[in-house]
Amino acid sequence: RAFDPRGARDLLARAAEVSPDSAALRSALSLAWIGLGDDDRARAEAEKAVQLSAALPKQERLAIEARAVEARKDWSRASELYRSLWTFYPDNLEYGLRLASCLSAAGHNAEALVVVAEMRKLPPPSGVDPRIDLIESQVDKRLSDFPAEMRAAHLAEEKGRKSGETQVVAQASMLQGDGLLLAGRSREAIPLFEVARDLFAKAGNQSAVALVLTHLGVALNEQGRLAEAQAMYEASLATLRRIGSVQSGAIQLDNLGFVAQDLGDLPRAQTLLEQAHAAFLADGDRVLAEEALNAIGTVMLARGDLAGARQRFDEVLALSRQTGNRVDEGRSLSFQGLVLARLGSLGEARRLQEQAYGITQRIGDPVHGASMLAASAEVLVRLGDLPEAGRRLARALEMKRQGDSRLGVAEVLGLQAQLQERLGNLAEAKRLSGEQEALARATGSRSQLAAVLQERARWSLDDGDLAGARRQLEEALRQRTTNGEALEAAAVRLDLSDLSRLQGDPGEAARLASEVADWYAQRGMEGFRARALARLAEALLAGGRSAPARQAADQAESIAEAGEDLDLRLTVATAVAPVRAATGDAASALDLLHWAIQESARIGAVIPGLEARLELGLLQRQTGDPASATSTLEEVRKTAEARGFRALARRAAAGPVVRIARPKG
């Protein structure tokens, strides 16, 4: 009862040697082995106890059976048995504690809190036992009520210090640190975990030491110290396997999967997470199974399996609402939003992201709330609300910094850099990207480094360094492919298609763009397919294949016009206008470019507007309007030079002439 399972095991083992046929001793010894994390020995002693209990009174037989079922991790049946015992013997605190624990493990956390309230009504000392506070703290955690988790744990700590029960203090310290960690305060959590670790180690409770090391690993992971976190998880996993703790070992696999994902090794991450998920299911722990399933979905999404990811997020959403786990409910809603955004349902994606953010606000989870704000900002950029996207990214960055989440900070910096570039603020974009690169190198995240390389390639293009841009894109593609990041790899291949066209290889450009368009089509990503088709049209036109270029352009435009993605429509309009002009439709090409210029100005998208103006000036020159062309191109040149976009400025100063096919008559 003082959370000293090693001391209990030693005394009970000696007692069992004296009385080997005592069912009560065997059952109690089973609980001690559970406390030490040795599942196999716990089950063996529990089964011996059942075999020896036939002659005992009904209450003792039922209690021994309940402990055996609990040792088998059959939480629902264990809950039924403890419910019967608690109902008939409501003054026995042990039955209430075991019932609350089993209910929580089975995902019935609201019912577990009812039992907690019933236990508090018992007369002292039972009603003020610190174990009630500890079980309440654990249930509050599963209900994502972090302030309540910390309050209950603090109360247990005070009682433990007063009574000298060091293992109660250790449990309470770990739970308080856990609450801080989940609330985005990882730096404050670490000293509490260290207190718990030292107290557990002093008592020889290796299972608890391994578990608190897990929490330390999570805190390090949150801070982007991935190598340290991984080493801690692996050491903890080795300890747990040595003592036979299946559940805690599964937790380590789960966390190692998260580290692999953060480092950018998605195949390994998926393998580890699926192993952990299977172990949690076998163990009957629905809440941990939900968490692993959510993570598996995010990995599948990054690997390009949108249907598989969506199925898992749907499953987690249903399960989390049954168990009352608001953390996983919010995350699954946010992840569903990511899938919908890639499928082009931007309004619904935004609604889900904002609903998810609201949940994080209510439960006090700022670090994940920041991720949801950032995801909604990406959607807002595509919808054309750039000012609100900027505000959300600024708030997300502030929240990530406060939570000391270095990887999260790096991700948001990358999004800010992209937005600033679109707004025409190249110097600021480069500053943000430089900070992102420093964090990517410090954390060892290959995924973030690949993102930086992609960004750098665009700037190499702007400097006229096509060879440098190719080296950067090819390295980014190699990293994305090695990481298993199929979604991002497709985007890199599309950038390589554009680069090949600029380097005078339209055939290679068309091949890459066509392959990417087909890849997107297979996954239902029609908006992204439209981007690839627009690039295909440009490549085909550069290769002198006007008819298929027009066909690809028309397809791209049809898809873009049917969707909500204004950013896509602007990109496609600027790309297909020259194709229209080259195939005898110069008037509609001019109209399309004028629309793109007006819309870009309306939403404040400087670079899309400049790109559209550049194409307009080139088209004016080619259709016999030299005065307008000179004025338009000079305006583009001056603006681009002032903002540091040298490639745009050079093209405006001396753009290539494309022969325009004029309509007959």
Given this model, what pLDDT does residue 245 score?
63
Integer Cα distance of 550 and 556 in angstroms: 10
Task: Among 245-259, 275-289, 541-555, name the one with the lowest average pLDDT.
Answer: 245-259
Region 387-416: mean pLDDT is: 94
Integer Cα distance of 513 and 496 in angstroms: 9
Region 48-76: mean pLDDT is: 91
Please write the tens of the pLDDT for every residue from 574-610.
999 999 999 999 999 999 999 999 999 999 999 999 9
Task: Among 114-118, 216-220, 390-394, name the one with the lowest average pLDDT.
Answer: 216-220
Identify the band that residue 382 occupies on the pLDDT scale cut at 50, 70 and 90. Answer: very high
Region 353-371: mean pLDDT is: 91
Residue 469 has pLDDT above 50, yes or no: yes
Identify the band that residue 323 occupies on the pLDDT scale cut at 50, 70 and 90. Answer: confident
Is the bond preceding residue 578 a cis peptide, omega within 30 degrees?
no
Given this model, what pLDDT does residue 248 score?
59
Integer Cα distance of 383 and 324 in angstroms: 33
Identify the band that residue 137 occupies on the pLDDT scale cut at 50, 70 and 90. Answer: very high
DSSP tag of 127: G
Query: Using an 8 Å Cβ cutoff, are 360 and 398 in contact?
Result: no
Region 297-309: mean pLDDT is: 96
Q: Which of 195, 208, 263, 260 shows the shortest CA–CA distance to 234? A: 260
Identify the band that residue 503 occupies on the pLDDT scale cut at 50, 70 and 90. Answer: very high
Region 197-211: mean pLDDT is: 86
Given this model, what pLDDT does residue 247 score?
54
Residue 346 has pLDDT above 60, yes or no: yes
The residue whose two tokens read 């690839």 is: 532
DSSP tag of 405: -
Residue 185 has pLDDT above 60, yes or no: yes
Query: What percent of the chain has a predicted confidence (pLDDT) above 90?
Result: 72
Residue 158 has pLDDT above 60, yes or no: yes
Q: CA geometry: angle at 451 spanning 446 and 454, to 5°?
A: 125
Query: Using an 8 Å Cβ cutoff, are 273 and 301 in contact?
Result: no
Pure H helices in 423-525: 426-443, 446-462, 466-483, 486-502, 506-522
- Cβ neighbours of residue 1 under 8 Å, at least 6 residues apart? 131
Region 7-34: mean pLDDT is: 90
Stronger pLDDT, 37 or 184, i.e. the higher one: 184
CA torsion sign for 424, 436, 397, 481 is positive
Region 297-321: mean pLDDT is: 95
Which range scores top for mean pLDDT: 23-37, 314-328, 528-542? 528-542
* Whole-number average pLDDT of the chain: 91
DSSP tag of 385: -
Integer Cα distance of 355 and 338 in angstroms: 13
Region 208-214: mean pLDDT is: 87
Q: What is the pTM of this model?
A: 0.82
Write the single-letter amino acid at 165.
E
